[in-house]
Structure 1
Amino acid sequence: MPQRKQPHSLETLALRAVGIWVKCIGKNLVDPVCWIFQRDCNEGVVLLQKSIVSINETLYASVPWYLFDKMAVQVLTSVNDLIQETKAAYDQFVPMSLFLSRMKVVVSLTEVVVHSHLKHLDISHWPKIMRHVLNQNLHRLEGLEELNLGSGSGGWDTSEAEKSILSGVRSMSNLTYLCLCFDCTDHILSVVGANCPLIQILDVTSSRSVTDRSVPSLLNCNYLRELKLYRTSVSVEGFKTLLTSLPCVQDLGRCDDFGNILERVSEENLGPLGLKSLQSRDLRASHLRLMVKLCPYLTHVSIFHDEKIADLTLLSALDNLTELKLMNCDFFGDRIKNLLEARGTNLILLHLEHVEEIDLNAIIYISQYCPRLKTLTLINCEFGENNNLIHRKMKVPPFLHLERLICVADCALMHLQFLLSHCFNIRYIQLGSSTGIDDKTMIEVFTKNPMKHLEELKILYSYGLSMQTVDLLMTCCDKLRTLSELESWEGISAQELRDFRHYITTHNLDLDVRPTLSY
């Protein structure tokens, strides 16, 4: 039986109360300010600003400094709720000017969290109408260490976004993390390079206005560990300069020009590089050889295979490799089996996507060659039904350390049954809509493996699963916290699902059965 819900901590309850307080103050503020707005707009603006300043000062004088970031999230959540309630209360018979005044008041409450002592702010999490207020006040957030601006305007209004971002970043000397996709520019990066010497993670993905002119500015950021420039206008020469001049860079994110970059580095007899993570396409066998030579510290490799790479065993020369993601290849034909035999003992993560020639033998090979594997992902792989097992005896208990399994592929039940029956320490399972799993298979699996550590199960669709499997999970999996997509189990009726949810509520079980997909 899953665990019962525990009481919230006093800290959590106190922070929620702060959010409720701000929401109540906001509700009581709407009518007086709107009334003054109707009479004198300037006077209404003055009153609103004074009220916001007063709330802001009260919040930061009453809450311990180490809770400022948590408080800000809770307050913004309450402000968002108030905005949605105000929208929902729209009445077509009320003058539009009055409705807009009300919206102005509640949206302006976003500003009450702005303070120089905030350390972390994820603006991308909030609705666009709130993001605008936060962006306009970035210059007041001098103490920020982590700033996530998300995708900004999506590249539609880069020049307008640039103004507020520039005014803010200039004063953020403690910034260590900045994410601004689509809207970043050379000008912004020049300001980052001049004013944010501690920056360690920079993500400007899809910002076409970032060019080689940003390279000199980025060279001032000596502590950069992650630099994500995918789909920017930085050239191969620019990448080469950054990689060879910034000693701390370990992750470039996705970089499809990486093979050409390696050629340039090799031509100039530079390297080795300090990269630990690589994600790329369009690599040739010669590029893999250069990668092994110039990037000896790689721990994570993700590549899209094509006919230009004849032998994936080249990757076996990477002594530190622990995470491997391969796409568009054949398990036996492209010698993945040989690669795992040579280097699998170090792997803790294996992701195979659009990989063919997967059969029960291949799964057994994975289990034997990768004994430390914690995460196994199989997406859109082609499974074959080969019943001629090569391994009759297994030297290593299969998948003993596996904690996460994702299988989104059309596979035979024997493949799935083998996987599920041996992963005794599994914590997370996600199965796609084509696995064909049913009650009978689950009963056979649980006879061998009761999955005592399972915390989350997500099966996107099944015509053969019913409440029998749900009862089995409830009986065996004491640590189960999430059981989603029950709406798509054909064997469960709408009434049975309502009864099950009622049972969870009345017994105070800490089990989330909300769907993650839209139905």
Structure 2
Amino acid sequence: MPQLKQPPSLESIVLQSLQRFILTLGQKLLGKVCSGTPATVLPTRWGMPSFLVRENCSKSSELEELRYFLHPGLPLNLSNSVTSAVLEAIATVISRAKCTYDGFSKSGDDCCRDIIENMISVALHAQVARVDLLQWPWFIGEILLKHLGNFQHLEVLKLWPGSWSPVWTTVVEMLENGHCLLNNLVSFSMRCHCTDKILQVLAHSTRLQYLDVMFSVDVTDTCVSSLLQLNNLKVVNMCSTSLSAQGYTELLIGLPHLSKLVWFDLNCHALGNMKMSPLSLHSYEASRVSIDHLIILVHICPYLTQVSLHWVEADLSVLGALKHLQEVKLAQCSAVNSNLKGLLEIIGYNIISLELHELRDVDLLMIGALCVNLKKMSLVCDLQSVEESFLGIKTPLFKELKDLKFGSEYSECLFFNCTNIRKLEISRCQNFNDNVVATLLTKNPLKQLQVLSIAHSGQLSMKTVHLLLESCDNLRVLEGLDSWGGVSKLQVMELCMEMKRKNMDIEILWKKPLHISW
């Protein structure tokens, strides 16, 4: 059975109490003005005319008092924790509002909208160090954008366009004109909407180490001179921008500490033009890879620890010369024709992460025997049938594997051997059912498993849930039950209530949360 919850810290208790207070206050304020009927309206937008709403409907003495209560005298790290806790409570208030069906995106009463906006404004303070739009619902993110110019010590700024709104036009103008204080930035992400002018302003952010402007077509070679002033840059994502091979080459040469530059080098056009070597680059991504491409790569980038290659038409054993290589990601090719075995025979002992997407003829036995130190593996590919071959293997395989993402036909030889797995994500495994789980837990009880996600696989029922709870002593998260087929939402709710009564430290989630890595 899962372990019992441990007593929370004093700080956690205080923050939870604050969240309950904000939730109660928000529902009380909305209850005074909310129509209770969802209606689609043209939402109020920053920089656009507001609706004619009841005068002063959003003003509240409680909110004015709260403004002076939350932050004065608090240390910066605690003040940021208070802000996050309050915003989480406001997100709950939004989800329970009766006048909107989409979190005030395109529906909701104007008075309720104004109250929520004022509550968010009260929660913010000038010393906010981190703004991440992915962390919050759309409406909270839009209010954060309105206050972007007020934050004086931003270190992390992640601007993710969940949906288009006129706010983005204003934000772009603010950033281009230098109206936001970005000198302390360590990490900046702005996908889709970044421009050369914004990067020109960022040239003064000398502490910047991480930059992500993926999908921003207005980022061109013009930005190269600005980025070359950022000598502390370590990771840059320029994928799907208008950067050319020449611009890519200039960045590689001019940024001495750059370890990762995400930009798919098609047919080795960029590296092929390099006149100097070796580079200090640690990560490289390319598509339509030929043997000449790999030879150039090994010569110019001998310190690579990570490679990501798509549409490989070459002998991968050439990469065996990369003695520091630890992470390999391959997609859209044949494991046999590209000689994956040849590569792993040379440096398989050094590989700790292996991701194979849409590969053909993948030999699990070969991977397990050669990659003895493998800790993370992702398999969304066609596997060779080697179940009988595994029966003759006496040495346990995959014993170091901690993280597995599996999207192929179920393989006993793999799952029976992963005795130390901590995180397991299964999808598109149509022959994964209750009987398979029962047999698996008999052979491998998954005692170290902490996070399990099963989605869009075979027919699973509450029998599997109870088997997992009985066997997996360290299980903390079980998610994706909405796609199991044999489980109802009511059953999951009842089980969650039972786990809460027993004080079990486990989350059982009906839907698999959306995780976006950027």
TM-score by length of 1: 0.84
Note if contact 1:421-1:445 (Cα within 8 Å) is conserved in structure 2. Answer: yes
Q: Which residue number in structure 1 is paired with residue 407 of structure 2?
A: 408
Give the corresponding residue for 1:316. 320
Question: One-letter code of the match for 2:476?
Answer: R
| Distance in 1, Cα, partners of 2:235 & 2:22 | 38
The residue correspondences of 1:137-176 to structure 2 (distance < 5 A) are 137-151=147-161, 159-166=169-176, 170-176=180-186
1:326 equivalent to 2:330? Answer yes
The corresponding residue for 1:271 is 277
Aligned partner of 2:307 in structure 1 is: 301
Q: 1:423 to 1:212 in 2, by over 3 A?
A: same
Where do residues 297-376 of structure 1 align in structure 2 (5 Å cutoff)?
297-306=303-312, 309-358=313-362, 362-376=363-377
1:15 aligns with 2:15: yes
Deviation at 1:210, TM superposition (A): 1.1
Contact 1:141 1:168 in 2 (8 A): no
Task: Note if contact 2:178-2:201 (Cα within 8 Å) is conserved in structure 1.
Answer: no
- Kindly provide the amino acid, as one letter, of the partner of residue 366 in structure 1: I
Q: Does 1:451 align with 2:450?
A: no
Task: Please tell me whether the aligned partners of residues 364 and 384 of structure 2 are also in contact (alpha carbons under 8 angstroms).
Answer: no
Matched, 1:484 2:479: yes
* Distance across 2 between alignment mates of 1:352 and 1:74: 39
Give the AA of the match of 1:281. Answer: S
The alignment partner of 1:366 has SS state of helix
Mapped to 2, the partners of 1:461 and 1:324 lie a distance apart of 27
- Measured in 2, the distance between the counterparts of 1:33 and 1:436 equals 53
Cα offset for 1:340? Answer: 0.8
Tell me the equivalent position of 2:384: 384
Q: Relative to structure 2, which stretch is displaced further, 212-221 or 440-449?
A: 440-449
1:94 corresponds to which residue? none
What CA deviation, in whole Å up to 9, does each residue of 1:265-315 have, x standing for no partner? 1xxx22322211122212322121111111111111111124xx2211111
What secondary structure, in the 3-state scheme, does the structure 1 residue paired with 2:271 have? helix
Q: Quick one: distance in 2 between partners of 1:237 and 1:455? A: 46
Partners of 1:498 and 1:29 in 2: CA distance: 29
From 67, 73, 84, the counterpart of 1:73 = 84
Corresponding residue for residue 286 of structure 2:
280
- Larger CA deviation: 108-117 vs 78-87: 78-87
Which sections of structure 2, spanning at least 5 residues, go unmatched? 35-50, 102-107, 514-518
RMSD: 3.4
Distance in structure 2 (CA, Å) of the matches to 1:436 and 1:314? 37
- Displacement of 1:38 in angstroms is 9.1
Give the counterpart of 2:208 among 196, 199, 203. Answer: 199
State the Cα distance separating 1:345 from its structure 2 match. Answer: 0.4
Post-superposition Cα deviations, 1:465-504, rounded to whole Å, max 9, x if no partner, equal: 5554444322321101122334544566788656644543
Query: How far off its partner does 1:462 sit?
Result: 5.2
Q: Is the 8 A contact 1:285 1:311 kept in 2?
A: yes
Per-residue Cα deviation, 1:426-475 (whole angstroms, up to 9, x for no partner): 11222223341344443443333222101122332555655544443223
| CA-CA distance at 1:511 after TM superposition | 2.4
The alpha-carbon deviation at position 7 of structure 1 amounts to: 3.5
What is the DSSP-based 3-state SS (H/G/I as helix, E as strand, rest coil) of the residue aligned with 1:305?
strand
Partner-residue secondary structure (3-state), 1:474: helix
Q: Residue 128 of structure 2 is aligned with which of 108, 113, 118?
A: 118
Secondary structure of residue in 2 paired with 1:174: coil
Flag the 1:20–1:63 CA change in 2: closer, same or farther, 3 A. Answer: farther
Q: Return the alpha-carbon distance in structure 1 between the equivalents of residues 201 and 63 of structure 2.
A: 30
Q: Which moved more, 1:507-516 or 1:368-377?
A: 507-516
Q: Deviations over 1:127-147 (max 9, x none)?
A: 333333222222221111111
Cα pair 1:484 1:515 within 8 Å, conserved: yes
Q: Residue type matched to 1:323 in 2?
A: E
- Do the aligned partners of 2:328 and 2:353 also contact (CA within 8 Å) in 1? yes
Name the SS of the counterpart of 2:355 in structure 1: strand
Q: Give the counterpart letter for 1:273 in structure 2.
A: L
Aligned positions of 1:222-261 closer than 5 A? 222-257=231-266, 259-261=268-270
2:70 corresponds to? 59
Provide the C-alpha distance between the structure 2 equivalents of 1:374 and 1:147, rounded to a whole number of angstroms: 31
Amino acid at match of 2:8: H
Match of 2:295 in 1: 289
Aligned to 1:434: 429
Aligned-partner Cα distance in 2 for 1:155–1:235: 30
- Give the 3-state SS of the residue equivalent to 2:226 in structure 1: helix
CA distance 1:146–1:363, change in 2 (3 Å): same
Secondary structure of 2:508's aligned partner: coil
Change (3 A) 1:109 1:165: farther
Q: What are structure 1's unaligned runs of at least 5 residues?
A: 91-97
Q: Structure 1 or 2: larger helix share?
A: 1
CA distance in 1, matches of 2:386, 2:63: 69
Identity of aligned residues (%): 30
Q: What does residue 507 of structure 1 align with? A: 502
Question: For residues 390 and 477 of structure 1, what CA distance do their matches in structure 2 show?
Answer: 25
